[in-house]
Copies of this chain bind each other. A is one copy, B any other.
Amino acid sequence: MPQGQPSFIPDDGLTTRQRRYRPLLIVHTGDGKGKSTAAFGLALRGWNQGWRIAVFQFVKSAKWRVGEQTAFDTLAAVHRAQGVGGPIEWHKMGSGWSWSRKPGTEADHAAAAAEGWAEIKRRLAEQRHDLYILDEFTYPITWGWVDVNDVVSTLRERPGRQHVVITGRRAHPALLDAADLVTEMVKVRHPMDSGQKGQRGIEW
C-alpha cells in the first residue's frame, strides 16, 4: 500500500508535493482491538522523522496504556540526551491534565475533557506539534462533553502541517466525514469470547 499509486490525479490546485505532504486527519474506530495500538505504532514512524509528538489520553484508568507511555517516555529521553528522533509529550486526563494547576477532580470528567480539548485547540493554533494522538477522544464527543462542530471546524482550519489521529468506538459521522483516512477495526474473534480475561503485555 505505501508504494501504491493514487487511482487518479485530483483537480485540487495542489502540486504533487503539496498533496503528498498534506496534513492528515486519521480516525481509528470500530469495536475491534488495535485502534490505539495502531496510533502508537504510527507515532514510532513520526518519532523517527523527528516529529514533535503529543498524546492526549481521554481515559480514566491510570493502568491503561502504561506500556506505551513508558516506551514513549524512554524514546523521549533518548531524544533529549542524544538528539535522535523527536520529542514526545504524554498527557492523560485520569488524574487531572499535567499542564493544569488544578488537582484532578474525578467527579467532573466532562469539565476535564472540555479543558483537554481547549488546550489542544491552543496548541493547534500555535502549531506546537507535528502529530497529535487524541486517544479515546470519540467518547467525550459522543457524550456531548466536547462539541463535534467545534472539533470539526478547528481541525479543518488548523494551520500548517499538523497530523491528528483520533481513536475510539462510535466515531461521530461529522468526524468521519472530515477525516482523510478512516480505518474500522472489526472484531472477528476475541479471547474474552472464550472466557479469557485481559493480561498484561497484551492489554496494557
CB within 8 Å of B: which residues of A? 1-10, 12, 16, 19-22, 24, 28-30, 32-42, 44-49, 51, 61, 63-64, 66-68, 70-72, 74-75, 78, 84-85, 130-131, 163, 176, 179-204
Contact = CB atoms under 8 A, between A and B. Distances in A.
B197 A16 contact: yes
A180 to B, nearest CB: 5
A194 B42 contact: no
A42 B41 CA distance: 8
A79 B28 CA distance: 31
B42 A202 contact: yes
B40 A33 contact: no
Given A68-B45, A191-B24, A196-B19, A30 B186 contact: yes
Contact of A32 (B48, B183, B190): B183
A176 to B, nearest CB: 7
Rank and list the top 5 A-B pairs by shortest CB-CB distance, nearest first.
A37-B41, A45-B67, A34-B38, A48-B67, A182-B188
B84 A74 contact: yes
Contacts of A70: 48, 85
Q: Which of A19, A37, A64 has the most CB of B within 10 A?
A: A37
A67 B46 contact: yes
A181 B185 contact: no
A198 to B, nearest CB: 4
